[in-house]
Amino acid sequence: MANLRDIKNRIGSTKKTSAMTKAMQMVSASKKNRAEQNAKAYVPYMEKVQDVVAAIASGTSDATHPMLVSRPVKKTAYLVIGSDRGLAGAYNSSILRQLTRTLNERHKSKDEYVILAIGRVARDYFVKRGYNVIESIIGLPDQPSFSDVKQIARKAVGMFADGTYDELYMYYNHFVSVISQEVTEKKVLPITDLAPASEGVHASYEFEPSGDAILEVLLPQYAESLIYGALLDGKASEHAARMTAMKTATDNAKELISALSLEYNRARQAAITQEITEIVGGAAALE
C-alpha cells in the first residue's frame, strides 16, 4: 500500500489540475458562445454574396472569368484550418489525419500539391513531415475579424489566379453541436457549384459598368468570404472541442480524486489499526 504522504500529494496535485481544467472549460464556453454568434452574424452576408454571384454568373452566359473555369489540374492546394494551441481533444488530430489520408489517396508524389496552413499545430505537423507548406498564418485572435483573414484569403486567391495551383480545397471542422464537429472538405476554387442561397433571385440584373467588370471584383470577394466563413466555423468548433475536452478532463480528475481519497482513508485506517495492535501487543508483553 502506497504511503500516506504520497497519496495526499497526488490528491493535492489532481485537485489543482482540475481547478485549471475547470477554469479553461468555462473560458472556452464563453469563447464558444461568442464564436457561434460571429458565425451566425456572418450568415446573411454570405448568403447575399452567394445570391448575387450566382445571379450574375448565370446571367452572363459566357462566364469565362478565370476563377470560374476548371483548368487541367497540375497542382492542388489544400488550405487546412487548425488551431494554435492544443488541449482541444481530437480537434486537430482528426483533421490532420483525414487530410493526410486524402493526400495519400489522391496523389502519387508530394510535388502534386501544396499546403496552406492556418494554426500552429497544423503548420508544425506538415512542416515536420516535409510537406510543401507554402503559406501559413498563426496567432489569429479567438474572434477573428474579416481584416485578420483578408491577407491569407487574398494570397490564396491570388496564387490561384497566377497559376501557382489549379485547384483549392479547404479542410476545416464544421460546427454541428457542442459535442460534435465534423471534418469538412470544401472546394473553393475554381468556383463551380453556384446555387443561389435563397429563392426568387432575379437573373436579369443590369450591370454597372459591366458584368465582367463586376465579376472581376466580386469573385475574389466571394472566395475570400468562403474562406472567412470556414474560419469562423472552425473557430466555433475549436472552442467547442476544447470545452468538451476540458469537461472530460475535469470529470476524470474528480473521479481520480474520489478514488484516491478512498485509498487515503483506507491507508490511514490501516495505520491506526496497526498502531493499536502494536500498543495492545506491547502492553500484553509487559503483564
Partner 1 sequence: MKTVQVNIVTPDGPVYDSEVAMVIAKTVSGEIGVLAGHIPMVAPLTIGAVTLKKEDGSQEIVAVSGGFIEVRPDQISILAPSAEVAANIDLARAKEAMARAEQRLQMKQDDIDFQRAELALKRAINRISVHEGNM
Interface ranges with partner 1 (CB under 8 A):
38, 41-42, 44-45, 48-49, 51-52, 55-56, 145-147, 150, 202, 204-209, 213-214, 217-218, 221, 225, 228
By beta-carbon proximity to partner 1, the closer residue of 61 and 204 is: 204
Give the residues across from 77 on adjacent strands: 114, 168
CB of 175 vs partner 1, minimal distance in Å? 17
User: How many CA atoms are closer than 13 Å to the CA of 166, on its beta-carbon side?
Assistant: 8
CB of 66 vs partner 1, minimal distance in Å? 18
Are the beta carbons of 130 and 35 closer than 8 angstroms? no
User: Taking each helix axis from N to C terminus, what angle separates 211-286 and 91-106, rounded to the nearest 10 degrees?
Assistant: 130
CB of 204 vs partner 1, minimal distance in Å? 6
By beta-carbon proximity to partner 1, the closer residue of 57 and 241 is: 57
> Which helix (H) or strand (E) covers residue 69, if one does?
none
CB of 48 vs partner 1, minimal distance in Å? 5
Are the beta carbons of 3 and 266 closer than 8 angstroms? no
The dihedral formed by the CA atoms of 50, 37, 170 and 62, expressed in degrees to the nearest 10: 10
By beta-carbon proximity to partner 1, the closer residue of 56 and 67 is: 56
CB of 154 vs partner 1, minimal distance in Å? 10
By beta-carbon proximity to partner 1, the closer residue of 84 and 148 is: 148
By beta-carbon proximity to partner 1, the closer residue of 45 and 261 is: 45
CA distance 123 to 133: 8
Fill in the amino acid letter for 44: P
Residue labelled with grid coordinates 487530410: 99
The number of residues making up the chain comes to 287
